[in-house]
A and B are shown apart, each in its own frame.
Chain A
Amino acid sequence: MMFAPATMPWFALHEWRLMWRDGVAMMTGGYPARRIGLIAFIVVVAIALHLMANAIMGPWIANGIVPDKPTLVLITGSGFLFWTVMLSQALESVTRAYYARSDLDLILSSPASSRTLFAVRTGITALTTLLLACLLASPVVDVLVIRDGVHWLMAYAVLAALSALATAIAVLITVTLFRIAGTKRTRLIAQIIAAIIGAGFVIGIQAVAILHFGNMSSRFALFGDPQFVASMPDLTSLVWAPAKAALGDWPSLLGILALGIGALTGTIAFASSGYGRHAIAAAGIGQQRVSQRTTTVNFRPRSQKQQLRIKEWKLLARDPWLLSQTLMQMLYLVPPALYLWISYGQSAGTYVVVIPVLVMAAGQLSGGLSWLAISGEDAHDLVVTAPVDPAAVLQAKIEAVATVVAIVFTPIIVLMLLASIDLAAKTAVFAAISSGSATAIQLWFRVPMRRAMFRRRQVASRASTISEALSSIFWAGTAVLAAGDQYLIAILPGTLAVVTLLVAWGLSPRGRPVAV
């Protein structure tokens, strides 16, 4: 299909082709033969998710779904959780449209309209946001369609409207940030806002659940609480329009579609004129020079390892964007920390619920930091050609990572220590094992890359990403069972964690000629 050059459909086709090829390369790791395996994997995962959704939704559907207030509260609350993830994703994508260079320099230096490009890229952001939402929601919606009626298909139209609305709001936030905070800070602030929006609502609901019920019960439990339901607006409120639309109410669906599409087109029309200007300003950020406050440098006598560790810490501390990407996972530590705070002095047994969160977070944080220290080495040639034993280089980098992880987790462990030495010790041990496992995986799969490639580190190896996540989950499971003194059962997740590490080691490209 041919379109006139530089028109909207022509740009859309170009963007779609790039996105498709990028997506396929990301999923197959550059090996087209893996497509069949990938499709089989996706089918198996989809079936498993649908079965899980069926098991969870079954009792609710069996009782009969009526559009009463508790149902609307549950659908709206759950839907809002999805929408915050959509908004977070849209905000990241919109920011990338301004800051990612790749072909932007070429297009902006061409006679093609930057407004057209912006409209296409914003539209694609809405589309990818919708795809993500569909991916997350489809098991639930499909089960509802099959077991309760085809009217639930309207939920997909609601998702489309909400993704358009999320994208429109993301554009408005970004443009506002450009005006208020300036080009230099917009990316970082948008990144933080995206993370807070993405995790904030989940954490907020969890926090309310903790304060309300006094335990780490499901955040969904709050939506079923009669007191909470009673405090919500009555049935005539517009707040329930998306939920009513999902339940098959046509006027509500048309209203929300009009709102979403109208907001998106209006925002594109409003923001597109400034796109070229902002994108060009964003391109100039790399050219700006940052002066250090201290203008006198006294070279300090340090060992080779000290130099390497200090270099890692300096680079991390001076890159707030990268630091925020890594430390954002720490937001998920807020609920367990809050729970520890409010249950201080209570039975030590209640602390068991926070252990898996801490152990998983330790693994995830270590994985990200280890990638930065081990693979994300900007002066790889320098470090390799230095007269330092490669093992000493790796040791110093691992020490640098371990120190940061220890700084983050020690206060929480100390808080636990005040109530239970046993649980604190077990948490510390399994957090260290989880952290060590993630670091080991990064070590086995190390591939020198620029630190700026942090976001795309998963592309380097799906095996390392999956094994890192699995080992954290299995160690968390082992930790919680060991904390509950169920040592025999704990052997199972512990064995799975070890098997995961062995498989990762087996899949890793060992025997590299040059170490980092």
Chain B
Amino acid sequence: MSDPVYALDIEGLSKSFDRPVVKDLTLRVKAGEFYALLGPNGAGKTTILRMVAGLLQPEAGSISVLGIDTRKDPIAAKSIVAWVSDEPMVYDRLTPYEYLEFVAGLWKIDAARAQAHATELIDWLGLAPHAHQRCGGFSKGMLQKVALAGALVHDPRLIILDEPLTGLDAGSARQVKQVLLDKVRQGVTVIMTTHILEVAERMAERIGVINHGRLVAEGTLAELRARVGRETTLEEIFLDLVAQKEMDIDAGVDAAA
């Protein structure tokens, strides 16, 4: 039987800045999966996702998106990926509609189809009353919604989100979560980092825990529970796994690995 095509297939990925940040990482995410990437601050989550999105060049290893090698054919890979960062980067002087028109143009989406989709997204995300106002005075939540609409307007097959719920109020966060779940139901793959473990626990099908640039644990919530050997919350599991990694480093296990 041939190997399934993964939405994301990372093999031996490494990246250093002033110190190694990602070390020989191998990670696979199945198509149509909701995958949550967890880890303490500075664990390397954002660096991994920025390399997948093409915002950073890896030093070693390979990244493949739905069978497309991101190094060999970056344009083809980018055309099916959407990236949403924790800090929404939109133009202050453009309206949400104009922003979506710009994004659709960059992704070469047919103008008529893009317009219909943009209108739908703007309604769906509750941005309709502000659709013709410049983004300059928008709240963080509204900006995040505009950025999310930009990520969805070109119908990506893989959506990568770095802490998308940071700073959102309960209503906006719920709306964003709902949009992501709907997309997963439609067969889109979602990979998301979050510090809100409750969100990962309730939404993700599989969870990966990163610490010191390595994948220290991965699986469904049940598999992670089995690994720590007790029926407990994801928060407890996460703290156990991270604490275990720290002990391994102190004992020199990480260096030997």
Contact = CB atoms under 8 A, between A and B. Distances in A.
A388 B75 contact: yes
A292 B134 contact: yes
Contacts of B118: 299
A514 interface: yes
B76 interface: yes
A301 B110 contact: yes
Interface stretch (A303-311, A358-366, A417-425): A303-311
Interface in B116-158: 118, 130, 132-134, 136-138, 150
A297 B94 contact: no
B227 to A, nearest CB: 34
Contact of A288 (B57, B111, B137): B137
Interface stretch (B99-107, B170-178, B206-214): B99-107
B255 to A, nearest CB: 28
Contacts of B108: 304, 387
A287 B137 contact: yes
Interface stretch (A110-118, A247-255, A313-321): A313-321
A208 B6 CA distance: 75
A299 B111 contact: yes
B91 A389 contact: no
A289 interface: yes
A299 B114 contact: yes
A306 B57 contact: no
A297 B102 contact: no
Contacts of B90: 378-379, 382
Given A299-B101, A300-B111, A304-B105, A381 B56 contact: no
A306 B108 CA distance: 11
A389 B130 contact: no
Contact of B78 (A307, A380, A386): A386
Contacts of B107: 386-387
B35 interface: no
B78 A291 contact: no
A294 B78 CA distance: 32
Given A295-B132, A304-B105, A384 B54 contact: yes
Interface in B72-94: 75-76, 78-79, 81-83, 85, 89-94
B134 A289 contact: yes
Interface string B42-71: 000000000001111100000000000000
B62 to A, nearest CB: 16
Contacts of B130: 289
Contacts of B106: 304, 307-308, 382-383, 386-388
A291 B94 CA distance: 10
B95 interface: yes
B150 A382 contact: yes
A200 to B, nearest CB: 29
A306 B90 CA distance: 19
A300 B118 CA distance: 13
B97 A315 contact: no
A387 B76 contact: yes
B136 A381 contact: no
Contacts of B112: 299
Contacts of B92: 378
Nearest to A317: B93
B55 A315 contact: no
A286 interface: yes
A307 B97 contact: no
B166 interface: no
Contacts of A385: 53-55, 78, 81-83
A311 B111 contact: no
A298 B90 CA distance: 20
A421 B103 CA distance: 44
A4 interface: no
A506 interface: no
Given A297-B101, A300-B111, A304-B108, A318 B78 contact: no
A456 interface: no
Given A382-B89, A385-B83, A297 B55 contact: no
Contacts of B76: 387
Contacts of A319: 93
B115 interface: yes
B56 A514 contact: yes
A297 B97 contact: yes
A314 B133 contact: no
A301 B56 CA distance: 31
Contacts of A314: 93-94, 98
Contacts of A5: none
Contacts of B93: 314-315, 318-319
A297 B93 CA distance: 15
B16 to A, nearest CB: 12
Nearest to B95: A292
Nearest to A307: B105
A297 B89 contact: no
A306 B118 CA distance: 19
A381 B75 contact: no
A307 B99 CA distance: 10
A383 B97 CA distance: 17
Contacts of A289: 130, 133-134, 136-138
A297 B118 CA distance: 11
Nearest to B109: A299
Contact of B53 (A291, A381, A513): A381
Given A382-B89, A385-B53, A298 B136 contact: no
A444 to B, nearest CB: 19
Nearest to A303: B105
Contacts of B95: 292, 297
A297 B78 contact: no
A115 B87 CA distance: 35
Interface string B191-205: 000000000000000
A301 B137 CA distance: 29
Contacts of B55: 381, 384-385, 514
A288 B93 CA distance: 12
B210 to A, nearest CB: 21
For the complex of A and B, list the 7 residue pairs with the smallest distance between their C-beta atoms, beginning with the closest: A307-B105, A513-B57, A387-B79, A289-B137, A386-B106, A299-B115, A318-B93
8 contacts: A295-B132, A297-B132, A299-B118, A304-B106, A314-B94, A381-B85, A385-B81, A513-B57
Interface of B: 53-57, 75-76, 78-79, 81-83, 85, 89-95, 97-98, 101-108, 110-112, 114-115, 118, 130, 132-134, 136-138, 150
Given A307-B102, A384-B53, 4 more contacts: A290-B136, A301-B110, A318-B134, A384-B54
